[in-house]
Amino acid sequence: MERYREVATRAAEKMQAYREDLSGWRSCKRTNEVSVSWKPSTEFHGNIYKAEGILPAKPEAVFKCIKPEAGGLREKWDKNVKELLIIEVIDENICITRTITPSALMKIISPRDFLDVVLIKQDEDGTILSAATNVEHPQCPPEPGYVRGRNYPCGCFCIPVPGDSSKTQLFSFFQSDLCGNLPHSIVDSFFASSIAEFHSNLTKAVKTLVA
């Protein structure tokens, strides 16, 4: 268990570093709800993506939609999450999750699963952090029918908007190796579009599911 805590803590520290890092980001997608940028990852051969947007709800309400939990709201609105399972609870702030994703891009990308340790922390200013990264777990080996992907330090910050308690600034970081033999151009196109769709669907979810 201590090993998982150490890995989760390092992921949270890297998330904070990504949030503070303002250099080298290149814009790749912009909508009314979100601005998406990217740069080469230092963790693996792919890219890290950053998404920034304002959501019309308090941080607690936004996080309720994002929170990794079995049978939670995430499965209802996130099209890239078919099922989310809790493999082990380490403590009240850390758990091991398995996320199953459906096929995408007209089945060019086959179903995946991701095994992560997730750390959740709330700061004194009301900011809620969810940080995750890939791990292995004896109760959850790779299964036939799914390509085992790998998430590198990723997650989100739900930050109260100063002067407006009814809104949340959301910083999301995505850093995933889908594995398998996928061309980089397809992977890059998929991430840019799916991240924008993530924010669009999350905006709708906080207006309907939480309200």
Q: Is the CB of residue 8 less than 8 Å from the CB of residue 119?
A: yes
pLDDT of residue 184: 81
Residues 6+ apart with CB under 8 A from 147: 110, 111, 112, 113, 178, 179, 180
Alpha helices in 31-124 (DSSP H): 59-66, 74-77
Q: Which of 3.30.300.10, 3.40.47.10, 3.30.530.20, 3.40.50.2300 would CATH assign to domain 2-208?
A: 3.30.530.20
Q: Is residue 108 predicted with pLDDT exceeding 90?
A: no
The pTM score is 0.93
Q: What is the mean pLDDT of residues 149-169?
A: 95
Q: Kindly report, residue by residue over 1-17, the tens digit of the pLDDT.
A: 899 999 999 999 999 99
149 vs 177: CA distance, rounded Å: 6
pLDDT of residue 211: 59
Question: What are the backbone dihedrals phi and psi of residue 46, each rounded to the nearest 5 degrees, phi first?
Answer: -100, -155
Q: Exposed, middle or buried: residue 98 (CB in 10 Å: 0-12, 13-18, 19+)?
A: buried
pLDDT of residue 51: 96
